[in-house]
Structure 1
Amino acid sequence: MNLLSVENISKSYGERVLFSDLSFGINQDQKIALIAKNGTGKTSLLNIITGIDTPDTGQVVSRNGIHIAFLPQEPNLNPDLTIEETIFQSDSPILTVLHNYEQALKNPEDTKQYQKAFEQMELHNAWDFETQYKQILFKLKLEDLNLKVANLSGGQKKRLALAQILISKPDLLILDEPTNHLDLEMIEWLENYFAQEKITLFMVTHDRFFLERVCNEIIELDNNTLYQYKGNYSYYLEKKDARMTAEAASLDKAKNLYNKELDWMRRQPKARTTKSKSRIDDFYVIKEKAHQRRKEHKVQLEINMERLGSKIIEIHNVSKAYGNKQILKNFEYTFKKGERVGIIGKNGTGKSSFLNLITKSTAPDTGKVIVGDTIKIGYYTQSGIEVKPEQKVIDVIKEFGEFIPLTKGKVISAGQLLERFMFDRKKQYDYVEKLSGGESKRLYLCTVLIQNPNFLILDEPTNDLDIVTLNVLEDFLLDYPGCLLVVSHDRYFMDKIVDHLFVFKGEGEIEDFPGNYSDYRIYEDSVEVEEKTEPKKEKKNWKKDANSALSYNEQKEYSRIERELKKLAEEKEQMEAAFADGTILADQVNEASQQLQAILDQIEEKEMRWMELMEKMEE
């Protein structure tokens, strides 16, 4: 059953055409995602569909009587209402029944009111709804219903707006970046909720795990053309790749034909017959197709980053608290060359505060953070940058740097970096105030990267970025030779970029997990299964347990091996670096190769013994 149809709509702002003649439909039980680059009008399209804005041409037709709910990126809530009042500010009949029942419970002496409210709950079968309603509030951490909206953080407001529309049970739910400001636990709950509920969705999201697990159809807006894919994100990638391959083959054929036709055009006399006129018209169609260029860039850069010394960043016995809230507790860590660390954890566990400690914008309560002399930190924060009025895109980035040096004496200029992040030459001379939210974030990223840091810190870099930009950023970071520390709720991004995780558990506890996000989820899921099947057995820990089954001597051996492995790893890195930078002379290569092999053999031998002891600890 069709719920809503978009018919030949167009939208422009002055000379800037966002889209034109777009048409598609939304049917019951479809879960559709719209994918497009930043600045191509995704949010404008959602505003038109929901009636907030109107198209220049065309129309949006919805089925009579359907309830459409919209979750924008920035919720519009009444600051004077409480959480409870906001939730019940809906015309949903079942919500009214539930609200009356909740009020009756507060006045038990009024038996007549209670009896009436109870009968209405029975009549509307609202008991299951009440359970689900409370579950949604619990999962979105909105238990204190008396809190005023004015006193909520941006993340709490987003969760409240989400709760409000989920509880109202709309026929069609339209979402603009629903996972922004949610922590991983909430995102995964929302995924499961949407996957299991019989609900019709139309959304814009950059969260590719979310797309994979929730959506059954993807619409891509590319160069003002809509492409529809009847499947999830992996299906979309497969079919898009096939389409791009076919387009490339078609483009090559068009180029060949164009060259032949160009030669024919040059040889013809000025007088034309009707037949040749038709061929001329065809020629211009072929020419247009042959000269198409996709504005997509794959980053393959050999960055000539400033040299990293032996000391990177060392964190010694650092503790930090805000009042009674413990962020770090006696934390120790020494960063190594080329490390790629991801940070995950619930909102409020201190992830951003940890980054501020490392960059020394916040001082620890105890302990110290030592930054090596050669370290140049690039810090991408959630707050973004302030730009001057009437400043152009190219001028903003040039304030931070003119180029990034590459190997072999090459450079990538500020303009070229902008092009790689999809600011074409024309866009580079636009005023910054004209940029969309995602484009502004993209520009901010470029201002951090152009400074050529050798220790890059990214705090939620994927928020508001489209999937195309995320792929470009991922490619850039995969080529990045320095240290990388990133906080992100984007699980797909974390899987591609990081090698291990700092898991913020709360109360100052941080675990160093040796793997990416998917590895961590597999581990956590296996622990949950084990706890269910063996409820009396304590949760296993992949780290060393003080109460392990090891003897005293074995515990000493375990600790010794860990220290030796760390030292061997450092020696291996130094040897490999010497080979890479050419400091080993030709007559020393054989001896150095043998030394490196000896180190690798020792590492393998000690890792085998370390694993034996680990297995014994877990018995």
Structure 2
Amino acid sequence: MNYLNAEHISKSFGDLILFEDLSFSIHKDQKIALIAKNGSGKTSILNILSGKEQPDHGQIVIRKGLRLAFLDQEPKLNSSLTVEETINAMDIPILRTIEHYEKALKDPDNTEAYQKAFEAMERDNAWEFENQYQQILSQLQLHNLSVKVSTLSGGQKKRLALAQTLLTQPDILVLDEPTNHLDLEMIEWLEDYFSKTDITLFMVTHDRYFLERVCNEILELDHGKLYAYKGNYSYYLEKKEARLLVEASELGKSKQLYKKELDWMRRQPKARTTKSKSRIDDFSEIKAKVHQRRKEHEVQLEINMERLGSKIIEFHNVSKAFGNTNILDGFDYTFRKGERIGIIGKNGTGKSTFLNLLTNSLQPDGGKIVIGDTVKIGYYTQKGIKVKPGQKVIEVIKAFGDYLPLAKGRQISAQQLLERFLFDRKKQYDFVEKLSGGEQKRLYLCTVLIQNPNVLILDEPTNDLDIVTLNVLESFLLDYPGVLVVVSHDRYFMDKIVDHLFVFRGHGIIEDFPGNYSDFRTYDSSKSEISEKLAPVTSTITKSENINKANKLSYNEQKEFKNLESKIRSLELDKKHLEQKFTNPELSQDAINTLSQELQEIITAIETKELRWFELAEKFESS
């Protein structure tokens, strides 16, 4: 069913033509992503679809009675209202139905008005609205409904705006960078919600895993032309490569870029569907994968980084808290040459605080941080660049340096670095205030890189960058020889760039995980499943540890009792792994028979060990 048609739309600002004569349609249940370089007019297209802007030429034709909702990149909320008041202030039919019903209750003598209001409540199923919005707010982790919007963080405001949008129950949902300002847990929740819900979407996002797992069509705006790809991100990469192959030969670099990206996508595991079978207690497999990933990369840009001594940055028993909230609690770590650390965790667990401690812009409450004499830090913050009126792009970067030194006496000039990050020579002489938000972020990134730091710290570098720029940045960072520390909610970016993770759990707890984000997600999911299954085991063992001396278990029995949990865990993982093999449609009958025998052996082993565990537990309980 056709919902909306964009017919020959055009938009320009003065002499700048964003796009012209574009036509496309949106049909029921389509989940469409729009991909284009920053400054190509993506946000303008979304504003035109939502009615916030009008096209210079052409028109938008929407099916009569259709409900369209728009989630802006920076949602505008009334800061004086509470969370609950914000929901109740929405202009949606169901709230008007509830308002009419409450008004009818105040005038019981008007039975006709009451009957109409009651029937409207039944028809719209308005009785459940309060439960619905409370459930959605809970899923989005907005539990305190009485808190003022003015006190919410950027991520909480984005989640509140998202709740508003979902509660309108639109026929078409238009989204501008929906994952910006959301932590990884919320991004995965939203991804799961959209992938399983029959909802029609039209969005702009740079999150490539989101594109991969949610979208079923991609529109690409490239050099003023619109290309449609009926599939997800992998399909888009494949067909994009095929299209470039038949185009002009000067697009060789783009062909190679997309080919590398496609190869990488094909090699990646599905983070939430593939389960690790032996990573709970042993990280050697993940470490081996990390080293292999680094070996596979071919260095293209040999940066001649300033010398980095043996002492880089050391944390010695560092503590930091804000009020009753612990950020670091006796944290120790010594940074090593060439390591690439990703930092993940929920919003508010202290990731940005950690970066500020790293850069000495914030002092610890306890312990000390030692920074080596040869360390030169480059710090990309979320604040972005300060735009000065009348300043040109090339002038901004030259204020920080004229060139970046490469190996063997070579160098890359400021102009060449800008070109690498998609500022052509004409664009380099544009005024900075004319740049889009994403282009300004791209320029800011160049100002940090041109200073040739040997420790590079990036706080959410992927926000507002288009996918083409992200590919360029990833390629640059893979060549970067120094210490790299990255905070990012972009899972795809983290998978390609980092070797291990600092996982901020909150309450001052930081885990060092030796792998990238997909490795961690796989490990964490497996661990969670087993923890739930063996919760009674864990609680009983905890109890046993407190009264070991008084029970009747011998020393060997105590040792066996403690080891049974991990053995059962391991067997459960082996069982799940084996069961997944049965989904292969190409299995022969002999292979099925062999797998069945192996599966039965594992099931028998689990039953035997569980029985033994219960024997020991019963003996323990009677002590």
- Shorter-chain TM-score: which interval? 0.7 to 0.9
Structure-1 residue corresponding to 2:147 = 147
Q: Distance in 2 between matches of 1:73 and 1:422?
A: 23
Structure 1 residues 521, 121: CA separation in 2 closer, same or farther (over 3 Å shift)?
A: farther
The answer to whether the 8 A contact 2:9-2:22 is kept is yes
Give the drift of 1:120: 6.2
Between the aligned residues of both structures, percent identity stands at 69
Give the Cα–Cα distance (whole angstroms) in 2 for the partners of residues 102 and 135 of structure 1: 22
- Distance in 2, Cα, partners of 1:216 & 1:54: 28
- How far residue 132 of structure 1 moved from its aligned partner, in angstroms, is 3.7
TM-score, normalised by the number of residues in structure 2: 0.76
Corresponding position: 1:17 with 2:2: no
Query: 1:84 offset after TM fit, Å?
Result: 1.7
In angstroms, what is the RMSD of aligned CA positions?
3.2
- Matched residues in 1 for 2:383 and 2:203: separation? 25
Give matches, 1:247-326, under 5 Å.
247=247, 251=248, 300-326=300-326
1:434 equivalent in structure 2: 434
Q: Does 1:346 align with 2:350?
A: no
CA-CA distance at 1:491 after TM superposition: 0.2
Q: TM-score, normalised by structure 1?
A: 0.76
Change (3 A) 1:118 1:457: farther
Which position in structure 1 is the counterpart of 2:62? 62
Q: Does 1:34 align with 2:34?
A: yes
Q: Distance in 2 between matches of 1:396 and 1:170?
A: 44
Paired residue for 1:244?
244
Q: 1:179-214: per-residue Cα shift (whole Å, max 9, x none)?
A: 101111111111111111111100000001111111
The superposition leaves residues 306-332 of structure 1 with CA deviations (integer Å, 9 ceiling, x where unpaired) of 111111110000000111111110000
Give the structure 1 partner of residue 508 of structure 2. Answer: 508
Q: For residues 181 and 98 of structure 1, do their structure 2 counterparts lie closer, same or farther at Cα, with a shift above 3 Å needed?
A: farther
SS in 2 for 1:309: coil
The aligned residue for residue 181 of structure 2 is 181
Q: Distance in 1 between matches of 2:407 and 2:118?
A: 75
**CA apart distance, 1:140:** 2.1
Match of 1:356 in 2: 356
Distance (Å, rounded) in 2 between the aligned partners of 1:225 and 1:476 = 28
Once the two structures are overlaid, the 10-residue window that deviates more, 54-63 or 468-477, is 54-63
Q: Tell me the distance in 2 between the aligned counterparts of 1:461 and 1:470.
A: 9
How do residues 486-505 of structure 1 correspond to structure 2 at under 5 angstroms? 486-505=486-505
The one-letter amino acid of 1:327's match is I
Q: CA deviation at 1:535?
A: 3.1
Partners in 2 of 1:292 and 1:317 — Cα distance? 53
> Counterparts in 2 of 1:523-538, with a 5 A limit?
523-538=523-538
Unaligned 5+ residue runs, structure 1?
253-290, 540-544, 555-618
1: CA distance, partners of 2:183 / 2:466: 19
Structure 1 123/43 Cα, relative in aligned 2: closer, same or farther at 3 Å?
A: closer
Assess, with a 3 A threshold, how the Cα gap between structure 1 residues 120 and 528 changes in structure 2: closer, same or farther.
farther
Equivalent in the alignment of 2:226: 226
CA contact (8 A) 1:531 1:537 kept: no
Contact (CA 8 Å) 2:244, 2:251: kept in 1 or not? no
Q: Once the two structures are superposed, what CA deviation does each residue of 1:6-37 show, in whole Å capped at 9, x if it has no partner? A: 11111111221111110000011100000000
Spell out, residue by residue over 1:428-471, the C-alpha distance to the aligned partner (whole angstroms, 9 max, x if none): 00000000000000000000000000100000000000000000
* Aligned equivalent of 2:392: 392
What is the rounded CA distance, in whole Å, between the counterparts of 1:58 and 1:377 in structure 2?
50
> Structure 1's 377 and 115: CA in aligned 2 closer, same or farther, altered over 3 A?
farther
User: Deviation digits for residues 481-533 of structure 1, max 9, x if unmatched?
Assistant: 00000000000000000011000000111001111100111111112221343
Contact in 1 for aligned 2:318/2:329 (Cα 8 Å): yes
Q: 1:81–1:101: structure 2 CA closer, same or farther, 3 Å change rule? A: farther
Task: Return the alpha-carbon distance in structure 1 between the equivalents of residues 116 and 367 of structure 2.
Answer: 63
Per-residue deviation, 1:55: 1.2
CA contact (8 A) 2:305 2:454 kept: yes
Shift of residue 88, structure 1, vs aligned partner: 2.2
Contact 2:155 2:183 in 1 (8 A): no
2:378 equivalent to 1:372 = no
Q: Could you tell me how far 1:547 is from its partner in structure 2? A: 13
CA distance, structure 2, for counterparts of residue 98 and residue 366 of structure 1: 55
Helix, strand or coil for the counterpart of 2:158?
A: helix
CA distance in 2, matches of 1:426, 1:387: 19
Q: Which residue in 2 is equivalent to 1:328?
A: 328
